[in-house]
Amino acid sequence: MISINNVGWFEAEKPVAGPFDAILRPVAVAPCSSDTHVSHGGAGPLENRILGHESIGEVVEVGSVVKNFKHGNRVIVNCCTPDWEAPLLQDGFDNNAHDYGFTASFKFVLGKDGVFAEYYHVNNADANLFSRPMTFPQRLRS
């Protein structure tokens, strides 16, 4: 999304993984009505923001302390990616409430670039990525 009511392609920097994070390239993405809503101004005056928040991806890079994923893993990514280390989440509270803000875990598009990109960033990779069977793409093609 270049600006409100102006959706198109633009060049963006490859995101950088922090120690808990991963960088993915999309394998499959699902445009959603929320992307349309945002593109018409529903999330405020965003400019040069990459849309998309629902994806299957391939891991291309992980942060230094990520344990469960590595380069080449294909993973499912939830549209909401909470900061699981946050104190209130550790106490069992929802990431979209209290001190964190109404949409705090909805980071793609609202808080950072989304998944309709050559590469995209996922915070807290060990908690926000999910393994999936490697045979899934072959089933789609048959």
User: Judged by CB, which is closer to Zn ion: 23, or 109?
Assistant: 109
Residue placing its CB nearer to Zn ion in the complex, 34 or 123: 34
In whole angstroms, the minimum distance from the beta carbon of 82 to Zn ion comes to 16
77 vs 125 by CB, closer to Zn ion: 77
Q: Which residue is nearest to Zn ion (CB)?
A: 32
Q: How far apart are CA 18 and CA 9, in angstroms?
A: 26
Element (H, E) at 138: helix 136-141
Distance CA 66, CA 68 (A): 6
Q: How far is the CB of 79 from Zn ion (least distance, A)?
A: 5
At its nearest, how many Å lie between Zn ion and the CB of residue 74? 20
What burial letters (b/e) apply to 100-110, b meaning 16+ CB within 10 Å?
A: beeebbbbbbb
Which residues would be at the binding site for Zn ion (CB under 5 A)?
32, 34
